[in-house]
Structure 1
Amino acid sequence: MKGSDLPAALVGLSHSPLIGRNDPAPDVLAAVDAATADVRSFVERFAPDLVVLYAPDHYNGFFYKDMPPFCLGTAASAVGDFGSASGELSVDGDAASAIASGVLDRGVDLTISARMTVDHGFAQPLEVLFGGIDRVPVVPLFINSVARPLGPVARIRSLGTAVGLAAAELDRRVLFVGSGGLSHDPPVPVLRGAPPRVAAALIDGHHPTPEQRARGEARVVQAGREYAAGQTGMVPINPAWDNLVLDTFERGVLQDVDGWTVDWMGAEGGGSGHEVRTWIAAYASLAATGPYAVTSRFYRPIPEWIAGFAITTALPT
């Protein structure tokens, strides 16, 4: 498939800031490593000319002062949280602008950022799949997955479809990547009822000092340890829901997601289960090019990473 004539491909990839910091048992880690090696081989064989990367943010780049439901970046830089890479992403500005115009032409409202700030949700999949954040031309698309109010999932599917149609006009081999999920309920701050200092940071985007970031990351690591030990009130990983989500993608019945309500997704998948919106957008983009088949599917519930962890690949049929 190297240099393939296939126009598009897809990778769905969970991320976690706890990878390498609070790892599961060796056999689980070995299974993840094997699945990761397989997906790298898949990407290498496909040899994309362009990556369209859908990912969330964790109050590192987007804040309540201006919180779009989704946003396309014509330039982007990563903050380097949780040991992920920092610096400029190799954004293809021309492709990003063309896709943005194509999405708007298709009647989907879209926010544009010429100076997008991203975190590990974007950096980690680029590092896993390509070995760095500047190795492949990319179009970054932020999908709000934590900051309520959240819009209907049908709008995410519409966005993904419009992006897929616009990308198909570029005459490039495009890899669509959905980064995040599946079920997980990490300690993400909530604006309603937050203390004034926390609320101000969520609204205005007060970036932490290195010392404050280190303390915050240490709290997340500790939360992972408590979660794995069953010493927390966070919503548990839900393998049944995770596999329902994966089954929906594998069966190609993406229209089913239009009936998924915000409250149902949160109750079943946890506070950050809405990160599956990035997968929905990616699969809708691939489906816009025609029928597809899921070519690999890996899933493990990994409490140490506070995640229902999954990796999938798909190709047009």
Structure 2
Amino acid sequence: MTLALCALSHSPLFGINDPGAATMEEVRATLDQLRSFVRDFDPELALVFGPDHFNGVFYDMMPAFCIASGAVSVGDWGTVPGPLSVDRDAARGLVRAALDAGIDVAQSEQLQVDHGITQPLEFLFGKDSPQAVVPVFINAVGLPLGPMRRVRLLGEALGHELISSGKRVLIIGSGGLSHDPPVPRLNDAPPDVVARLINGRNPSEEARAARQRRVIDAGKAHAAGDTTYRAINPEFDQLVLDTLASGELSKMDDWANDWIEEAGGHSGHEIRAWLAAFAALSTAGSYRVTTRAYWPVEEWMTGFAMVSAISE
């Protein structure tokens, strides 16, 4: 077995807004299961697909996909700032494989990544882990977005390259399922926010703290019944999980972006990272889901899920 998968939600509000003792106990117990799964697999490389939330990637250059041959954590929401242990040779090989497969990808020698990449790595490996990684940015908030089919084909192209490497590779998909947090959108943002969406790198501590406070307050209001943002949609979330578990990933090719947003919220597009991860795993043949857990966590404003899978 050379490929294994962990797909899991991230949330900036994890550990901040309290979803209740019972939910937190179940989430932590499932995280322990995933960590045990990872330890048993003992990966030589971790490939992580994840989004950004206008913390590292902006409209001054918004790629659909970007493979990092070097990456730096911005350190938002309590994640560790600084360089990640990126396997440059593996990353460059993945870039070539994607391009050879007809998938246009960007490459970055210093990709700035936020909690969408770093939180799942810290969940699974701990903080300051030396684990070799390759981060792959999947655009999920910088509209317009391409079709889901291209996401699947990207995952397959990278999966074939991973198999040819002969290494034990843990594939990670990072994203919320249905959720609609206060992420601004370019078309209806005021001028000062538009400027930040175009290039908001390296904000002041005061600006970052103010932005994070807005998210915390929105999560608390949402849990109290505020309807400013769309509700979590467990039916949509179970459809996503069922489709990924079935292995019939091409069914998602026809999932229109407008429908995903209507059913899953403005940030429901983060399911793209899950699709890419499962598509990469599928290149090793049929697979079996070994862990599947889900919670609609209003305090975190997201359908929160964790899945592990192995090739059969």
| TM-score, length-scaled by structure 1 | 0.97
Q: Deviations over 1:12-53 (max 9, x none)?
A: 110000011102010011010111100000000000000000
How many Å separate the matches in 2 of 1:164 and 1:102?
A: 9
Task: Give 1:86's match in structure 2, choosing from 81, 88, 95.
Answer: 81
How many Å separate the matches in 2 of 1:133 and 1:242?
A: 32
How many Å separate the matches in 2 of 1:47 and 1:73?
A: 22
Which segments of 5 or more consecutive residues in structure 1 lack a partner in the other structure? 1-5
Partner of 2:46 in structure 1?
51
Instruction: Give yes or no for contact 1:88–1:134 (8 Å, CA) kept in 2.
Output: no
Please state how far the C-alpha of 1:251 moved relative to its aligned partner: 0.9
Partner of 1:154 in structure 2?
149
Please state how far the C-alpha of 1:106 moved relative to its aligned partner: 1.5
Partner of 1:3 in structure 2?
none
- Determine if the alignment matches structure 1 residue 228 to structure 2 residue 262: no
Where do 1:91-130 residues align within 5 Å? 91-130=86-125
Count of residues paired in the alignment = 312
Please state how far the C-alpha of 1:133 moved relative to its aligned partner: 4.9
- Determine if the alignment matches structure 1 residue 250 to structure 2 residue 245: yes
Q: Secondary structure at the match of 1:186?
A: coil
Please state how far the C-alpha of 1:310 moved relative to its aligned partner: 0.2
How many Å separate the matches in 1 of 2:147 and 2:296?
A: 27
Instruction: Give yes or no for contact 2:55–2:201 (8 Å, CA) kept in 1.
Output: no
Q: Deviations over 1:188-230 (max 9, x none)?
A: 0111121111111111234320011011101100000000011
Task: Give 2:189's match in structure 1, choosing from 185, 189, 194.
Answer: 194
**1:133–1:126 distance in 2 versus 1, CA, 3 Å:** farther
| TM-score, length-scaled by structure 2 | 0.98
The one-letter code matched in structure 2 to 1:280 is L
The one-letter code matched in structure 1 to 2:141 is V
Where do 1:1-317 residues align within 5 Å? 6-317=1-312
Q: Deviations over 1:133-156 (max 9, x none)?
A: 542100100000011101100000
How many Å separate the matches in 1 of 2:125 and 2:276?
A: 21
Runs of 4+ in 1 over 6 A off after TM superposition: none
How many Å separate the matches in 2 of 1:282 and 1:200?
A: 32
Q: Secondary structure at the match of 1:36?
A: helix
How many Å separate the matches in 1 of 2:201 and 2:159?
A: 35
Q: Secondary structure at the match of 1:294?
A: strand
Instruction: Give yes or no for contact 2:56–2:201 (8 Å, CA) kept in 1.
Output: no
Q: Deviations over 1:40-84 (max 9, x none)?
A: 000000000000000000001111111001100000000111111
Instruction: Give yes or no for contact 1:90–1:133 (8 Å, CA) kept in 2.
Output: no
